[in-house]
Amino acid sequence: MSDRILGAACLATAAGMAWAAQGYAAAISYEPVGPRAFPLLLAALLATGGLWLALKPTLRGATPYRGVPLRATALVAVSVGLYALLFEWLGFALATAAMAVPLGLVFGSSLRASIATGAGLGLALYFLFDKALDVVLPTGLLSFVLGGR
Amino acid sequence: MDILQHLAAGFGIALSPTNLAIAAIGALIGTVVGLLPGLGPINGVAILMPLAFAMKLPPETSLILLAAVYIGCEYGGRISSILLNVPGDAGAIMTAIDGYPMARRGLGGVALSISAWSSFVGSLIATVGIVLFAPLLASWALSFGPAEYFALMCFAFACIAGLMGDAPLKAGIAAVLGLALSCVGLDANSGVYRFTGGDVHLSDGIQFVVVVIGVFSISEVLLMLEQHHSSTGLITNTGRMLFNLKELAHTWWGTVRSSIVGFVVGVLPGAGATIASAMTYSMEKRLTDKEGTFGQGDIRGVAAPEAANNSAATGSFVPMLTLGVPGSGTTAVMVGALALYNITPGPALFTQQPALVWGLIASLFVANVILLVINIPMVGMFTKVLQVPNGVLVPGILAVSAVGVYAVHATTFDLLLMTLLGLVAWLLRKQGVPMAPLLLGFVLGDMMEQNLRRALSITNGEVSILIESPISKGLWIGTTAMLLVPPLLRSLSRRRAAPPVAA
């Protein structure tokens, strides 16, 4: 069943692409092929592939999601999303420390170990990259200690 | 003669103190990344690429770093295969079949050292192959016009779809999705913004790093939630640390044969280390396994696939350097790395950037010597890495990935896009859609569209130019063959009694 959904998703994406690409026309054109042709070609290919998949699914009746630990996966997804969102505001060190706690727990560490990991990773990687390797990282809320912004 | 001069100049670059140190660091990182199950060369190279750029390393130095990591991964993958029965990366799957039984018999040290040696021989033969064939291929490819390039890229996609796994249709879909992602942003020819949704962050396209890290690292972390291998099966008693002359002679010809086959497979776009090691393992089994000991800890079954995966990885540099068309996911990342420096790989690279090309080739020799040296005596140190718990490892991977993404543009937007792409990629991978074609599509998208448009402007829109020249004709025939032959062969072999395939 799920391959049919993938096929349908491909079809929908292709339709969206084709619809968006409709209006792509150059004001003044110097060449026979404008900015619209390639996206439309891709949309056609994607639609063909999606249709094929929807009609002849290769994963018939298979349930690739049976083994997925739903809560853990959702927790990781949300943690990564929040990490991305708060990366600049909290600063690298704090954000990393906060992200490492739920991830450590999900991947089998104890609470204390996860907090220690987070603090260690946040500070060690900050000093390694920002101070030693010259890769500028945000300091966020800790900017009064670490400097920067 | 010319080649030797270039090579000498290349060694001058590779042996400079900075580059030598970088190659050693890359070799070390690569071995660690390779041996960790779940992290492969693509992840390692993808995470390091933006960091190298942010550290303002010159292009040849960062390419040397990435190449050393890539080759190092192929060395490192065998360690967990042999000691843990869990392949560290996809190219090392076959090594576990005979490596783990050897380790259980107390011959772990022998298996590790002979596989390090055959990895070395494999890489060495393939690097010599690069030196001999790459300049020839590059000078031939100089005559390629846009139509030939377009056909060549279609051929590359056909290879990757036909040779990769059991779902060519899904590989094709992945490639198209990658191509579509590459369309996002400003179209340089016409000034039209495509698929940006009016968002200013997307106006110069999606950052390559964001795609690679999202698609490979983030989705990998989500996939890791389902795998519960602990280090409990780790064999720590490795016995004798070095192979003896008898074992060396016993494996020698198999190693050489597998290296040559691996190189040829590696040069083909799409087929990489994984296919090469599987091919040579069954080849050696057929050729030399008279006593039926393959699968029970035969040393030849350890040496052959290791030689092949290293020579294939090294061989995959050939299409990337000479044609600008990467043959594997990892070399696709390297093309992206060069793009950060505004360098477009292709046949002209050999004449325009000889320092870069020959420095890289020479550093492949250097990195292999370093890898051989660190992989035989220091293997004990690497096995300690396998005992790092996932609760520390995964947050570490995520943090370093985020640093890499943030380093390029310093925006929260890129990090959020990385998360989103990671979630979509996870869904696709669960569905059996391979991600390497998507990456290849993303890297090649712009080049493919530009070449198509250029070809068609030559004839003012007449499509026949795409199949006019003999080179493009040959490439289109190859494309069709690649799409039709492997599925046919597969259904044929399925009809015959399905041979037992060791997983």
Among B419, B430, B460, beta carbon nearest to A80: B419
> Which residues 60-79 of chain A have a CB within 8 Å of chain B?
64-65, 67-69, 72-73, 76-77
Reading the block at residue B174, the tokens are: 């992945």
For residues A45 and A18, membership in a common domain is answered with yes
Beta-carbon contacts of B268 under 8 Å, excluding residues fewer than 6 positions away, are B159, B163, B327
User: Does residue B138 fall inside a structural domain?
Assistant: yes
For residue B456, the chain A residues in CB contact (below 8 A) are 31-33
- Chain length of chain A: 149
Chain A residue whose CA is closest to B390: A107
Residues A51 and A89 in one domain: no
Average pLDDT of B64-92? 86
The DSSP annotation for B405-438 comes to HHHHH--HHHHHHHHHHHHHHHHHHHTT--SHHH
Comparing CB atoms, the residue among B172, B398, B416 nearest residue A99 is B398
Chain A residue nearest residue B395, CA to CA: A100
Q: Does the pLDDT at position B391 exceed 80? A: yes
Q: Does A118 touch chain B (CB under 8 A)?
A: yes
The model's confidence at residue A63, banded by pLDDT at 50, 70 and 90, is low
In a domain, A41, yes or no: yes
Higher pLDDT among residues A33 and B154, named by residue: B154
Identify whether residues A93 and A43 lie together within a single domain.
no
What is the structure's pLDDT at B165? 60
Min Cα distance A108 → chain B (Å) is: 6
A123 and A84 part of one domain: yes
Rounded to the nearest angstrom, the minimum Cα separation between A141 and chain B is: 16
Distance, CA of B177 to CA of A13 (rounded, Å):
9
| DSSP secondary structure string for all residues of B97-121 | HHHHHHIIIIIHHHHHHHHHHHHHH
Domain-located, residue B389: yes
- Which residue range forms the structural domain that includes residue A107? 70-146
**Number of folded domains in chain B?**
1
Chain B contact for A96 (CB, 8 A cutoff): yes
| Claim to verify: residue A43 and residue A86 sit in the same structural domain | no
DSSP classification of residue B387:
T
Residue A47 belongs to a domain: yes
Residue of A nearest to B461 (CA): A32
| Residues A87, A49 within the same domain | no
Residues A42 and A76 in one domain: no
CA B434 to chain centroid: 14
Distance between CA B155 and CA B146 in Å, rounded? 14
Q: What is the mean pLDDT of residues B463-472?
A: 84
Inside any domain, residue B10? yes
In chain B, positions 50-79, which contact chain A (CB-CB < 8 Å)? Answer: 51, 54-56
Rounded to whole angstroms, what are the CA distances from B63 to A15, A87, B18, B287? Answer: 40, 29, 13, 38
According to the model, what pLDDT value does residue B501 have? Answer: 44
Q: Would you tell me the crossing angle of helices B17-35 and B354-375 to the nearest 10 degrees?
A: 60
Q: How confident is the model at residue B1 (pLDDT cuts 50, 70, 90)?
A: low
**Cβ distance of A80 and B187 shorter than 8 Å:** no
pTM of the model: 0.85
CA distances from B68 to B9, B31, B370 (A): 19, 9, 10
Average pLDDT score over chain B: 85
**Cα Rg of chain A, angstroms:** 24
What backbone phi and psi angles, to 5 degrees, belong to B185? 110, -165
CB contact residues (below 8 A), chain B span 371-430, against chain A: 389-396, 398-400, 402-403, 406-407, 410, 412, 415-416, 418-419, 422-423, 428, 430
Contact B176 A42 (CB under 8 A): yes
- CB distance B11 to B54 below 8 Å: no
Comparing CB atoms, the residue among B192, B406, B418 nearest residue A35 is: B192
CB B77 within 8 A of CB B92: yes
Q: Give chain A positions within 8 Å (CB) of B416.
A: 81, 84-85
Q: What is the pLDDT of residues B228-275, one digit of tens each?
A: 655 566 777 777 777 888 888 888 888 999 999 999 888 887 667 778
**Chain A residue whose CA is closest to B217:** A80
pLDDT at A84 (0 to 100): 92
Q: Is the pLDDT of residue A83 over 80?
A: yes
**Average pLDDT, integer, range B374-385:** 81
Quick one: pLDDT band at residue B416, thresholds 50, 70, 90?
very high
- Residue A18 domain flag: yes
Question: pLDDT-based confidence at A29, cuts 50/70/90?
Answer: low
| Binary contact (B399, A99; C-beta < 8 A) | yes
Residue type at B48 in one-letter notation: L
Give the DSSP H/E element, type plus range, for residue B192.
strand B192-194
Residues 182-211 of B with CB under 8 A from A: 183, 187, 189-192, 194-195
Share of chain B above pLDDT 70, in %: 95
Q: pLDDT confidence of A149, banded at 50, 70, 90?
A: low
- Same-domain status, A24 and A49: yes
Q: Which of B196, B222, B228, B406 to mutate to test the interface with A (most CBs of A within 10 A)?
A: B406
8-state DSSP, B324: S
Contact assignment for A10 to B173 by CB distance below 8 Å: yes
Residue A14 maps to a domain: yes
Same domain, A83 and A130: yes
| B415 is a domain residue | no
Amino acid (1-letter code) at residue B315:
G
Distance CA B123, CA B70 (A): 11
Residue B500 domain flag = no
A77:B415 CB<8 A: no
The reply to whether A97 and A133 lie within a common domain is yes
CB pairs under 8 A between A and B: 198
Percent of chain A with pLDDT over 70: 91
Structural domain for B30, as ranges: 2-166+240-405+467-491
Assembly ipTM: 0.91
One domain, residues A41 and A75:
no
- Measured CA distances, B411 to A99, A139, B142, B266 (Å): 18, 14, 39, 37
Interface test with A, best of B218, B398, B456, B466 (most A CBs within 10 A): B398
Return the pLDDT at A57. 77
Neighbours of A81 (CB within 10 A): 16
Using CA coordinates, name the residue in chain A closest to B409.
A136
In a domain, B14, yes or no: yes
How many structural domains are present in chain A? 2
CA distance A82 to chain B (A): 9
Partners of A25 on chain B (C-beta within 8 Å) are 190, 192
Chain B residues whose CB is inside 8 A of the A96 CB are: 395, 399, 402
Measured in angstroms, the CA of A146 and the nearest CA of chain B are apart by: 17
Amino acid A101: pLDDT: 92
Same domain, A138 and A97: yes
